[in-house]
């Protein structure tokens, strides 16, 4: 297979929120100096929160739009594997337009086959959550019901907005009204989260729901295309670079993540193959990078990681690294770096590079603890993506000398980073069996260091 030299994929290597948005934004900025670029997102929906810091210092959280929105030369694709919430997407497009002060932004193309994720899905997910004893599981953005529509053979797709078949919309609404009723809820009365300023939206009657959707369809129509021809042409064009921005992370994948608190989309790179209908084999992508936090891990949801951290240190990290959900604002759980889990995710995800963010989260008074193995009943055991199993294993830790936060934040080249950080990086790369592509040493744009030769 011919590898495309100027192709780069970034996925979450742990449990999400690793800082992918910033990496994609910086990479794209660098690549647009070289010519044409397509930025392709193939999974997830409004559950993602990718934070980008603009040259002005302004921070923008993007949810459904790829992080290259502020690169006017880029074409961003919302691919077939995504579930798209039209009203949240329009809010986001408007926000980007305001922040860009009407200057040109990236060109948006939405695959007509991408699946719709609507207020009906959010309402049903909320009703289901109450029925499941109020588990704090999902982000509440109706992601899994929208994906379930595909498996149950009744999805609504972006192309349904083009011809706006009211009968199909009515059938969809009535199905979800019945599902909610079965769980003791009245769909029309239910309030669901929205990105719009109000924060909540009442689903409303069939007429209200349809009227809203019709107005959104009118606004979105010009973005919806059959993107496969464009993808086939540009992928084989040596002058066009490709960046793939995955959402969520391999640790949240339903096949590879900590089951059952997983998301419904395909979070590993093989999702690119199915979203592009075989045009792009992910093995042909030159850089297949997983983004992880360097000195700790974070997680939101019901999963309990084997390496959960002492709360005093967790609080310190949570405040210093702003570990609160970009979509839900929930405080994130903080855990010691688990190299056993990360190695498994890299292996099942076909990863050849890692990007390590938050290298500055290191305290001179506290050694850096990383998990290098598990035992179960006194015997060494491997990773298995199953919560019940992970509750039973005991992590084996190794400690590393910390480095000064201030010194590493000031470093601008690999040579300038403190010696203990170099020792730590070499150990992590060896354990993960990949190479290190890049590290970040602080939140600012110039606080990223390329390690790849
Ligand atoms: P869902 O994707 O809303 O169905 O949520 C399923 C699980 O994935 C929950 O534990 C969420 O907290 C988690 N999750 C979904 N999206 C993200 C993300 O972007 N970052 C971190 N966790 C996420």
Q: Is the distance from CB of 42 to CB of 81 less than 8 angstroms?
A: yes
Distance CA 64, CA 36 (A): 22
pLDDT of residue 1: 85
Predicted confidence band of residue 133 (pLDDT cuts 50, 70, 90): low
Ligand 1: residue of 16, 145, 329 to mutate (most ligand atoms within 8 A of CB) is 16
pLDDT of residue 339: 98
pLDDT tens per residue across span 311-324: 999 999 999 999 99
Atom of ligand 1 nearest to the CA of 50: 19
Atom of ligand 1 nearest to the CA of 252: 8
For residue 209, what pLDDT is reported?
A: 98
Q: What is the dihedral of CA 174, 177, 182, 184, to 10 degrees?
A: -160
Of ligand 1's atoms, which has the minimum distance to the CA of residue 301? 10
Q: List all residues 6 or more positions away from 449 whose beta carbon is below 8 Å from its beta carbon.
A: 411, 412, 413, 414, 417, 438, 439, 440, 441
Residue 17 annotated among the catalytic residues of the structure:
yes
Is 50 annotated in the active site? Answer: yes
Q: Which of 67, 138, 193, 297 to mutate to test the pocket of ligand 1 (most atoms within 8 A of CB)?
A: 138
Q: Is the pLDDT of residue 221 over 60?
A: yes
Label residue 441 by pLDDT band (50, 70, 90).
Answer: very high
Cis amide prior to 67 (ω within 30 degrees): no
**Reported pTM:** 0.94
Residue 371, strand partner residues = 338, 397
Pick the more confident residue, 231 or 58.
231
141 lines ligand 1 (CB under 6 A): yes
Please determine, for residue 418, whether its predicted confidence score (pLDDT) is greater than 60.
Answer: yes
The Cα 389–Cα 374 span in angstroms is 11
Average per-residue pLDDT for the chain:
94
Query: 199: closest CA among 191, 207, 190?
Result: 191
Task: Report, as an integer, the average pLDDT of 337-358.
Answer: 97
């Amino acid at each position: 297979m011919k590898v495309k030299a100027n192709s780069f994929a970034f996925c979450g290597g742990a449990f999400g929120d690793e800082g992918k948005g910033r990496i994609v934004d910086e990479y794209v900025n660098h690549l647009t100096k070289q010519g044409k670029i397509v930025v392709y997102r193939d999974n997830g929906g409004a559950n993602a929160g990718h934070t980008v810091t603009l040259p002005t210092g302004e921070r923008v959280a993007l949810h459904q739009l790829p992080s290259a929105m502020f690169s006017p030369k880029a074409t961003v694709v919302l691919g077939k594997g995504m579930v798209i919430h039209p009203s949240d997407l329009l809010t986001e497009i408007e926000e980007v337009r305001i922040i860009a002060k009407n200057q040109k932004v990236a060109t948006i193309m939405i695959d007509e086959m991408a699946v719709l994720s609507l207020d009906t899905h959010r309402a049903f997910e909320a009703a289901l959550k109450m029925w499941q004893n109020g588990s704090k599981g999902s982000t509440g953005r109706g992601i899994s019901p929208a994906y379930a529509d595909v498996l149950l053979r009744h999805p609504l797709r972006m192309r349904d907005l083009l011809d706006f078949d009211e009968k199909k919309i009515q059938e969809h609404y009535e199905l979800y009204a019945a599902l909610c009723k079965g769980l003791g809820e009245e769909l029309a009365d239910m309030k669901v989260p929205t990105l719009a300023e109000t924060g909540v939206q009442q689903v409303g009657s069939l007429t209200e729901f349809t009227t809203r959707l019709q107005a959104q369809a009118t606004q979105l129509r010009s973005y919806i295309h059959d993107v496969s021809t464009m993808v086939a042409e540009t992928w084989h064009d040596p002058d066009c670079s490709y960046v793939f921005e995955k959402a969520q992370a391999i640790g949240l994948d339903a096949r590879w993540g900590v089951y059952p608190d997983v998301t419904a989309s395909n979070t590993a790179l093989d999702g690119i193959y199915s979203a592009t209908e075989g045009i792009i084999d992910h093995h042909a992508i030159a850089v297949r990078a997983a983004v992880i936090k360097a000195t700790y891990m974070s997680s939101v949801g019901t999963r309990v990681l084997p390496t959960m951290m002492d709360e005093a240190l967790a609080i310190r990290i949570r405040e210093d690294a702003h570990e609160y959900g970009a979509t839900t604002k929930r405080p994130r759980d903080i855990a010691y770096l688990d190299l056993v889990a990360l190695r498994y995710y890299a292996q099942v995800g076909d990863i050849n590079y890692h990007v390590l963010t938050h290298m500055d989260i290191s305290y001179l008074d506290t050694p850096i603890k990383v998990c290098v193995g598990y035992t179960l009943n006194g015997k060494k055991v491997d990773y298995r993506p199953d919560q019940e199993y992970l509750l039973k294993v005991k992590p084996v830790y190794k400690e590393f000398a910390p480095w000064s936060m201030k010194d590493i934040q000031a470093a601008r080249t690999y040579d300038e980073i403190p010696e203990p950080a170099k020792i730590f990086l070499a150990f992590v790369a060896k354990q993960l069996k990949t190479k290190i592509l890049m590290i970040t040493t602080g939140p600012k744009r110039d606080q990223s260091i390329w390690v790849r030769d």
